[in-house]
């Protein structure tokens, strides 16, 4: 074999110490944002049937969950509201009410854990009786009128103490409108974590169980993106940069790692991957059936999202990952 020339790549893989020395990508607890579902009512701790280990929590149970997350070293949470069905209306009043679920939960969390970053999901779909992310007229989701309600929602969330606004509605101009609204209200220091590249995906199914926010008619394809499109993602991302976004979210993550890399290569802002409910549930189901090693699969998946270009990851696995990372130290 002396006459054959080839590279000896295995030299850098021959021991754990050597592999650690040349490792290129690292997953940290500080990279994680933990989603929480705040439910109306009292003494509520409902496990989401399609998302084992994820719960709808009423205000009186919320702080116990937040305390566990902070003890594990998690630095940020993102809040979603789950109101009573009878409290929903055509314009999603609960989204921008000062007594809304996200607003009250934010105040509660910030009073007890002022250093924890609270990200507020800024959308109407959980609060509208039709389940869409904007205002509906004659069966059409109207864009510009929806922006007015989204601005009101963002301002009310910041007034409650939210550190970061995360608008997820995918209306055209939503970042520009919210940035202008926050600035006019005196909140020019509040960053916007835009759901910039959000596809109309089947991976969201379990989330709609968790948030009780499925559309009551039609679908969201007139405002969320076609999964087949790549260049459209760059158009969406670049317009949000111009409009004033401070972070860009790519959602979903697992089937869109090429998009994460494209956005990372073209935009000089922090990139957030949303490891969505369907991605979580598939792994959980396989693990419960004993088909996979959950810990190894999750850590490999999230490391892959970091390698693809994500700076941060929103994930329902946040507590598990934080615990596993502690065990490895």
Which residues carry out catalysis?
198, 251
SS (H, E, C) the chain: CCCCCCCCHHHHHCCHHHHHHCCCCCCCHHHEEEEEEEECCCCCEEECCCCCCCEEEEHHHHHHHHHHHHHCCCCEEEEEEECCHHHCECCCHHHHCCCCHHHHHHHHHHHHCCCCEEEEEECCCCCECCCCCCEEECCEEEHHHHHHHHHHHHHHHHHCCCCEEEECCCCCCHHHHHHHHHHHCCCCCCCEEEEEEEECCHHHHHHHHHHCCCCCCCCCCCCCECCCCCHHHHHHHHHHHHHCCCEEEEECCHHHHHHHHHHHHHCCCCEEEEECHHHHHHHHHHHHCCCCCHHHHHHHHHHHHHHHCCCEEEECCHHHHHHHHHHHC
Rounded-to-10 torsion of CA 159, 160, 161, 164: -80
Tokens, residue 212: 């009780």
Q: Distance between CA 79 and CA 129 in Å, rounded?
A: 20
């Amino acid at each position: 074999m002396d006459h054959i020339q080839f590279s000896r790549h295995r030299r850098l893989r021959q021991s754990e110490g050597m592999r650690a020395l040349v490792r290129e990508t690292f997953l940290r607890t500080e990279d994680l944002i933990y989603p929480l579902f705040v439910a109306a009512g009292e003494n509520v701790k409902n496990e989401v049937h399609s998302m084992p280990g994820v719960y709808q929590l009423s205000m009186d149970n919320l702080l116990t969950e937040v305390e566990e997350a902070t003890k594990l070293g998690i630095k940020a949470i993102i809040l979603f509201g789950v109101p009573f069905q009878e409290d929903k209306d055509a314009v999603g009043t609960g989204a921008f009410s000062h007594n809304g679920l996200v607003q009250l939960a934010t105040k509660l969390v910030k009073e007890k854990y002022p250093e924890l970053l609270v990200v507020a999901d800024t959308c109407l779909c959980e609060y509208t009786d039709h389940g869409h992310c904007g205002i509906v007229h004659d069966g059409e989701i109207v864009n510009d009128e929806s922006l007015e309600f989204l601005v009101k929602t963002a301002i009310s969330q910041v007034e409650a103490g939210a550190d970061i606004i995360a608008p997820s509605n995918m209306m055209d101009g939503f970042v520009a409108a919210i940035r202008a609204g926050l600035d006019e209200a005196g909140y020019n220091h509040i960053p916007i974590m835009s759901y910039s590249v959000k596809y109309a995906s089947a991976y969201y199914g379990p989330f709609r169980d968790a948030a009780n926010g499925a559309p009551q008619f039609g679908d969201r394809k007139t405002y969320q993106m076609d999964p087949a499109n790549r260049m459209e993602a760059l158009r969406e991302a670049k317009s949000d940069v111009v409009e004033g976004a401070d972070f860009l979210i790519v959602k979903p993550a697992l089937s869109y790692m090429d998009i994460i890399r494209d956005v990372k290569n073209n935009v000089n802002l922090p990139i957030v991957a949303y490891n969505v409910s369907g991605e979580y549930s598939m792994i959980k189901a396989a693990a419960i059936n004993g088909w996979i090693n959950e810990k190894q699969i999750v850590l490999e998946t999230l490391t892959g999202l970091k390698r693809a270009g994500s700076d941060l990851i929103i994930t329902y696995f946040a507590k598990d990952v934080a615990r596993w990372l502690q065990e490895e130290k």
